Amino acid sequence: MMQQFIDRRSELEALERAFEGDKAELIVIYGRRRVGKTALILKAVEGFHHLYFLADERSENENLSEFRKKVAGFLGDDLIARSNLGWLELFQLLAERGDGVVVIDELPYLVEANPAFPSLLQKAWDLHLQNSKIKLVLVGSSIGMMERLLGHKSPLYGRRTMQLDVTPLKYWHVPEFLPAYSPETWMMVYGVADGIPLYLNQFDGNSSFWENVERLFLRKESPLYTEAEFLLRQEFREPARYFSILKAIAFGKTKFGDIVNFTGFDRGTVSRYLDNLARIRVIRKVYSAFEPETRRNRRYEFADNYFRFWFRFVYSNRERIERELYGDVLGSVRRDFDHYMGPVFEKAALDFLWRKFAFERGGRWWRKGEEIDFVGLKGETAYFFEVKWGTLSHREALGVLKRLEEKAKNVKTGVEKRRFGIVARSVEGREEFEEEGFIIFELGDLFIGAQR
Q: Which of 313, 34, 288 is nearest to 191 (CA)?
A: 313
State how far the Cα of 14 lies from the Cα of 61, in Å rounded to an integer. 34
In a domain, 289, yes or no: yes
CA–CA distance, 395 with 398 (Å, rounded to integer): 5
Residue 58: helix, strand or coil by DSSP? coil
> Using one digit for the tens of pLDDT, what is the confidence trace for 167-204?
999 999 999 999 999 999 999 999 999 999 999 999 99
> Are 296 and 285 in contact, with CB atoms under 8 Å apart?
no
* C-alpha–C-alpha distance, residues 249 and 233, integer Å: 19
How far is residue 161's CA from residue 359's CA, in Å, rounded to a whole number? 30
Gap between the Cα atoms of 40 and 16, Å rounded: 11
Residues 137 and 182 in one domain: no
**Do residues 174 and 201 make contact, with C-beta atoms less than 8 angstroms apart?**
no
Given pLDDT bands bounded at 50, 70 and 90, which one contains residue 65? very high
d(CA 290, CA 24): 44
269-311 per-position pLDDT tens digit: 999 999 999 988 899 999 999 999 998 899 999 999 999 999 9
Q: Which of 346, 368, 387 is the last residue of a domain?
A: 346
Quote the percentage of the chain above a pLDDT of 70. Answer: 98
CA distances from 14 to 7, 18, 162, 203, 264 (A): 13, 6, 9, 30, 47
In a domain, 3, yes or no: no
15 and 115 both lie in a single domain: yes
pLDDT in tens, 405-436: 999 999 999 999 999 999 999 999 999 999 99
**291 and 156 together in one domain:** no
- Find the CATH number of the domain harbouring 387: 3.40.1350.10
Q: Where does a domain end: 346, 379, 397?
A: 346
Residue 349 parent element (H or E):
helix 326-357
Residue 219 shares a structural domain with residue 324: yes
- Average pLDDT of the chain is 94
87, 107, 110, 89: which is closest to 27 by C-alpha? 107
Is 392 found in the same domain as 301? no
Number of domains present in the structure of the chain: 3
CA-to-CA distance for 64 and 22, rounded, in angstroms? Answer: 28
Sheet of 381-392, strand order:
361-367, 370-378, 381-392, 417-427, 439-442
pTM for this predicted structure: 0.92
The range of the structural domain enclosing residue 124 comes to: 9-165
Is residue 276 included in any domain, yes or no? yes
**Is residue 451 in a domain?**
no
Q: Give me the residues paired with residue 384 across strands.
A: 375, 420
Tell me, yes or no, whether 180 and 314 share the same domain.
Answer: yes
CA 420 to chain centroid, in Å, comes to 30
